[in-house]
Each structure stands twice: as C-alpha cells, then as structure tokens.
Amino acid sequence: MIRSVVQGCGSYLPERVVTNEELSRTVDTTDEWIRQRSGICQRHIAAEGEFTSHLAIKASQRALDHAGLNASDLDLIVLATATPDQTFPATATRVQAALGMTKGAAFDVQAVCAGFVYGVSVADSLIKSGLASTALVIGAETFSRILDWDDRGTCVLFGDGAGAIVLRGEQGAGTPADRGILANALHSDGRHHDLLYVDGGPSSTRTTGFLRMEGKEVFKHAVVNMATVVGEVLEKAGLEAKDVDWLVPHQANKRIIDGTGRKLGLPPERVVVTVDKHANTSAASIPLALDVAVKDGRIKKGDLLLLEGIGGGLSWGASLVRW
Ligand code: UT7
C-alpha cells in the first residue's frame, strides 16, 4: 500500500521578538499573568510588508533543502492558513510561483489552529488516491494582523511564523512499523462558532476584522476534545499511548498541552513544547514545534509522533506519524 512518508521539514520565524515585558508597556498585562495562564514568554511578530506568503516561502525552501528535493519534484502544495495575503487567490499559489513549481496544484486549507493537521490529512489522502505524489504541507500565519491590540484577553497570546513538511508517496507493507502517516482523524462542530472567530470578512463586513475568543470556554473544549481525538487516532492505527515517542501538540497553552500529555501517560520530556518562545501561531505551531525537535536531534527516524490541534470552528484533529 502507498504511505505518505515525511522527507524533510523546515520553519521560519520573523526576526522581531516581542517579550511579555515589552507588551506590558502598551497593554494592561504583566509578564507573570501571561506566563502563569499560558506558558508564553515571547512571540515573533512579522515586519511591515512581511506577509504570510513570505514566511511560508522561507519555511518551504528549508523543508525542501532538508528533504534534498527541488520545487520541480513537487506536484502538490497545501497551505494551512487563516491569515492569507489576500482573500484570493490562495496564498499557496504565491508560494508555488516563488519556489518555481509549475506542475500540479496549490491551494489553501482553512481550519485555523487545526489547519496543519487538516493539511496533512488532505495531502495524505491525495497521495494515497494517486492524485499527487510529492506534497509540501505548510502552516503559515501572521496573526498579529488580526489581533485587537486593545483586547488584553487575546493579543498577548498569539505570534507569527511558518513551518512545512515534505511528504512523498512510497510503497510500504502497511504495518505500524512502516514510516509515514499512519492515521488521521478530523472533526468540527460549527455550533461553537461564537467561542473563537474573526468579526469581519469579505462577505459579511467587507473588512478583515479582529480575533474574538471566549478563552475559558475554548480551554474546556480543548482539554476534552484533545484527549478524545488522540485516543481515536491511536485506535485507528492499532497502537497504544505507550507506543508514542513524541507528542507534538498545537501550541496554544502550556496547561492544555500538559493535560493531554498526562492523559496519554507521557512524561513531560516526551512532549515538544515551544509555546514559551513562539506563543500561539495557529496553523504554524505544529510544524514549527516539529522542526525544532527534529533539528535539535530529539525526534529521530522511526519515532512515533502524535500531532494534534484545535481551533476556531470549533475544528480539531490528530495525525499519527512514523517519522
Ligand atoms: O489556538 C486556538 C485555541 N485556543 C486556546 O486553546 C485558548 C484556550 N484558552 C486559554 O488558553 C485560556 O483560557 C487563556 C490563557 C486565554 C485565559 O486564561 P484563563 O485562566 O482562562 O483566564 P480568564 O480568561 O478566566 O481571565 C482571568 C482574569 C480575568 O480577570 P477577572 O475577571 O478574574 O478579574 C481577566 O480579565 O484575568 C484577566 N485577564 C488578564 N489579566 C492580565 C485576561 N487577560 C489578561 C491579561 N493580563 N493579558
């Protein structure tokens, strides 16, 4: 059977780092509050004129280099983002042009903080169906552009960045020991729209709008849904929590991450945490965390990785990957 096997990964963060201390000079907040409630210490913020596509292009080039592949090898780009450069065309097509990829298809996926897991699932399905052979899956965001900097309940929590992986279809025996994407699970429940949304859009207000969040309510859903979806994806693959080498979760809040790790019975040193340095970068947070742990040597070929995320929609999902 065909498996989508990870060939390489890459990431990019804007140069400018904004610490909690710096934020507290313009927002009614403290370093202590932000650290205690979320685990965040700093975030990267895109420069004026630096767009989501720019971050995505840099992360993608690094992923291709790490994979030892060229843009001409790609026949699919799936870019997960809730902060596209423009309403249309898809930001993925800008990345496609900049990389010099001329065949196949490039499009965006919009599932906010669950976007990367959605993107991986879509690319995996297209590879398995034979519609694509080599895919770039990107998570890239400039959330700083949709934050209400007067709303201390949200503006301290997010950051900008991008991460990418390259997937290629390879024949395998179809066992859990094979490298590749082993299982995916996707969910959404639109009844919870009002818990996390942007109060603008081309069809409703003709404005971009700002992010609005009922943090406490999202927190409760996150804890429950993450515990359920990681169990679901393990069951699909015929594996157990004890088989997982690394939990690579969406980086929204250290307390949510710790809760999911505890439910799985994973020691903290088996959980990749970057929320302290990157804050919540929405669809970019999982591939950013992945890249950090691959490049510092923690994640090794053959390790079993559990990726999971939840965000606006509500939308959530998980992927199990033999690296
Ligand atoms: O990535 C998409 C998914 N998103 C998430 O998973 C986010 C989930 N939610 C969370 O991470 C947490 O709910 C937050 C970090 C957003 C908030 O933590 P919390 O413990 O739920 O705090 P809270 O919203 O209940 O606020 C507690 C207090 C309030 O004051 P009162 O009403 O108790 O007097 C807030 O006004 O903290 C106040 N507060 C702040 N204080 C200082 C809210 N924001 C701030 C702030 N600085 N930045």
CATH 3.40.47.10 residue window(s) in the chain: 2-171, 180-322
**C-alpha 284 to ligand 1 mean position (Å):** 22
Q: Give the single-character DSSP code of 280.
A: B
Residue with the nearest Cα to atom 18 of ligand 1?
37
Residue 139 structure tokens:
């998570």
Quick check: 191 and 85 in contact, CB under 8 A? Answer: no
Distance CA 158, CA 164 (A): 19
Mean pLDDT of 87-96: 98
Please provide residue 171's backbone torsions phi and psi, each rounded to the nearest 5 degrees. Answer: -75, 135
Mean pLDDT of 155-182: 96
Mean pLDDT of 38-53: 98
Using the structure block, give the residue that is written with the tokens 């999971």: 308
Residue 26 structure tokens:
């313009």
Question: What pLDDT sits at residue 172?
Answer: 87
| C-alpha distances out from residue 289 to 3, 125, 258, Å | 23, 23, 15
Q: Quickly state the pLDDT bin for 174 (edges 50, 70, 90).
A: confident
Architecture per CATH, domain 2-171, reads as: 3-Layer(aba) Sandwich (3.40)
* pLDDT tens for each residue of 94-116: 999 999 999 999 999 999 999 99
Contacts 24+ apart (CB under 8 A), 90-94: 91/51, 91/52, 91/53, 91/56, 91/140, 92/138, 94/53, 94/57
How large is the C-alpha radius of gyration of the chain?
18
Question: What pLDDT sits at residue 119?
Answer: 98
Using the structure block, give the residue that is written with the tokens 């599932």: 111
Query: What HEC string does 210-241 produce?
Result: CEEECHHHHHHHHHHHHHHHHHHHHHHHCCCH
Question: For residue 188, which of 320, 319, 317, 318 has the smallest C-alpha distance?
Answer: 317
Distance CA 167, CA 4 (A): 6
Distance from the Cα of residue 286 to its chain's centroid: 4
**C-alpha 216 to ligand 1 mean position (Å):** 7
The helix or strand, by DSSP H or E, that contains position 126, with its residue range, turns out to be: helix 115-129
Question: What pLDDT sits at residue 63?
Answer: 98
Question: What pLDDT sits at residue 271?
Answer: 98
Residue 284 structure tokens:
């970019």
Ligand 1 pocket, residues with Cβ under 6 angstroms = 29, 33, 37-38, 113, 152-153, 156-157, 215-216, 218-219, 222, 252-253, 256, 280, 310-311
Mean pLDDT of 113-128: 98
Residue 262 structure tokens:
């505890």
Q: What is the pTM of this model?
A: 0.98
Pocket-testing residue among 37, 41, 214, ligand 1, by greatest number of atoms within 8 A of Cβ: 37
Mean pLDDT of 16-27: 98
Q: List CB contacts of 225: < 8 A, sequence separation 6 or more.
A: 187, 310, 314, 316
Question: For residue 160, which of 45, 16, 17, 60 has the smallest C-alpha distance?
Answer: 45
What average pLDDT does the chain have?
A: 97
Fold of 180-322: Peroxisomal Thiolase; Chain A, domain 1 (3.40.47)
Question: What pLDDT sits at residue 218?
Answer: 98
8: three-class secondary structure by DSSP: strand
Distance CA 51, CA 309 (A): 24
Distance CA 286, CA 282 (A): 8
Question: What pLDDT sits at residue 198?
Answer: 98
The helix or strand, by DSSP H or E, that contains position 182, with its residue range, turns out to be: strand 180-188
pLDDT exceeding 70 applies to what percent of the chain?
A: 100
Q: Quickly state the pLDDT bin for 20 (edges 50, 70, 90).
A: very high
251, amino acid identity: Q
**C-alpha 215 to ligand 1 mean position (Å):** 6
